[in-house]
Amino acid sequence: MLTKEQMERYGAMESYIIILIDRKNFEIQSSGRKRCKEAMQTQRQINQLMEEKREVEKELERIPNLRIRTALIMKYKYRYSWKAIAQKIGMGDTEDSIRIAVERFFRKGE
């Protein structure tokens, strides 16, 4: 069951993974034993985040309601506004109706 907190964290993961990869590359390019050890620690962080991201994506795939799944991805991964989500999904949704449906999903654990 996905929580709002997991989805908010998921939205930030992609950017943070990119930052960590850049840091790891810098650490590798810098010489010295200390930098090598730091690069290994950074790679462990990257691996952990990638695994967490895969778990959230598996949970998203399990959501049978395509409307809710799409809204969650658009809101938390791509940072769309509720208005933009409602316009893209269509189906007569307003920004309030789609936001309320997602809030209900989090409350009920649909």
Q: Tell me: the pLDDT tens digits for 64-89?
A: 999 999 999 999 999 999 999 999 99
pLDDT of 10 > 70? The answer is yes
How many domains, the chain? Answer: 2
Check whether residue 80 and residue 31 sit in a common domain.
no
Residue ranges making up the domain that contains 105: 66-110
Closest CA to 93 of 82, 108, 107: 82
User: Which of 28, 46, 62 is a domain's end point?
Assistant: 62
pLDDT of 31 > 80? The answer is no
CB 71 within 8 A of CB 85: yes
Percent of the chain having pLDDT more than 70?
Answer: 97
Check whether residue 38 and residue 50 sit in a common domain.
yes
Check whether residue 58 and residue 70 sit in a common domain.
no
CA distance 37 to 76: 33
Cα 106 from chain centroid (whole Å): 16
Q: What is the mean pLDDT of residues 36-50?
A: 92
CA distance 109 to 49: 24
Who has greater pLDDT, 14 or 53? 53
Closest CA to 106 of 10, 3, 7, 8: 3
Check whether residue 93 and residue 40 sit in a common domain.
no
Report pTM.
0.84
